[in-house]
Amino acid sequence: MQIYVFYIQYFKPKELKLNILKDYFCASTNFKMSFHSTLTSWYSVNKRNLPWRASKNPYKIWLSEIILQQTQVKQGQPYYESFVANYPNVQALAEASESDVLKLWQGLGYYSRARNLHFTAKHITENLDRVFPKNYKTLLELKGVGEYTASAIASICYEEPVAVVDGNVYRVLARYFGIDTPINSTEGIKQFKVLAKSLLPESNFGDYNQAVMEFGARQCKPKSPKCSDCVLISSCKAHATGTVNVLPVKLKKTKVTKKYFNFLVVVSKDKHTILEQRTEKGIWQQLYQFPLIETTTSVSKKEFLMQLDKSDKIKNAIQTVSLFNTSDIIHKLSHQELHIKFWVIKTPNSLENGTKWSEVHSVPVPVVIERFINNFQV
């Protein structure tokens, strides 16, 4: 009896018979050996040549895993290389200023990752004598390190028998075993953790975990998976039932909120501007921005000038006001859709505590503001 048949029969979404499943896997040594050897053989031939894979240094593995959260490899790799070049070890990262770390991170988004990265580097340097925790349980105590990241570090660096479960693993297991429990539900998270743990080999845990993740990233892709030359096709439940394109199942996302941002790009005669640091909690915390007026809808110039008159954002005399972008710039975040206008406000006066325009490029800002700065001519 193939393993997915047993799974569907006994591991039902509403009835987690974990002991039965565990017993079955223990009895299915031949299946497990075949599953592991198939994936690790595929991995040895098809794995990408990525810089962090040449190391078992926990600092480098931790750094790569944090950067690759919510980020594709092709986007994250240059950032990894920049961080390693600028901060070759955890002590060097700890000794950097938060502003410098945020600036190097600029463009990756989810800036709390960078803040946690810096905080954790300081913690390891100051409190752990620059030595990374050496097991899954103590790795979880680090700020910004969740179950997936702890599993990856523990298995790759220390060969601890812990299973990684990321988006790629969810997809491979959901399709191979034909599981339609939503992967982002409490029930689904528990279900897939148990399954992933039950599938662990007897050794080489790091290589096996990387093999499953790489298989999901390159072969069993979210869109246009390469089923025609898949090494698991003969026993893939989703392929047999025609459900490849509907698995894995996810619960609907939180409703996206629209916000309307009007940034005030003040330019003085001596080419200074005003930047403010965001101190309130949020994804842009500690980053810099131009003064902001938030409105309930996209506004015309007349409506904007009325809002400007009511605010105390600009204390200098105003010479001209012009709109830089003729249509709203749409910037999509996880649960927000920002509609952004950049209003260029010229003043004949000097700005108190103003920032030289030539220094704006050195300040950490959200990527949407960075793009504006790169395109704007003073």
Cβ contact 48:73 at 8 Å: yes
For residue 285, what is the DSSP state? T
Report how far residue 325's alpha carbon sits from residue 329's, in angstroms, rounded to the nearest whole number: 7
Provide the pairing of β-strand 336-347 with 257-268: parallel
C-alpha 245 chain-centroid distance = 24
Pull the structure tokens for residue 371: 């793009």
Positive or negative: CA dihedral 178, 181, 185, 190 = negative
Residue 65 bears catalytic tag: yes
Catalytic residue among 15, 65, 159, 370: 65
Q: How far apart are the first and last CA of the chain?
A: 72
C-alpha closest to that of 13 among 245, 164, 174, 220: 174
The phi-psi region of residue 204 (left if phi > 0; otherwise alpha if psi is between -120 and 50; otherwise beta) is left
The phi-psi region of residue 70 (left if phi > 0; otherwise alpha if psi is between -120 and 50; otherwise beta) is left
Residue type, 334: S
Tell me whether residue 90 is exposed, middle or buried, using C-beta atoms within 10 angstroms of its C-beta: 0 to 12, 13 to 18, 19 or more: buried
Beta bridge partners of 294: 261
Phi, psi of 22 (to 5 degrees): -60, -45
| The three-state (H, E, C) secondary structure of 240-277, written as one string | HHCCHHHCCCCCCCCCCEEEEEEEEEEEECCCEECCEE
Report how far residue 331's alpha carbon sits from residue 260's, in angstroms, rounded to the nearest whole number: 10
Cβ contact 152:207 at 8 Å: no
C-alpha closest to that of 142 among 118, 109, 165: 118
Beta bridge partners of 15: 12
Catalytic positions, written as ranges:
65
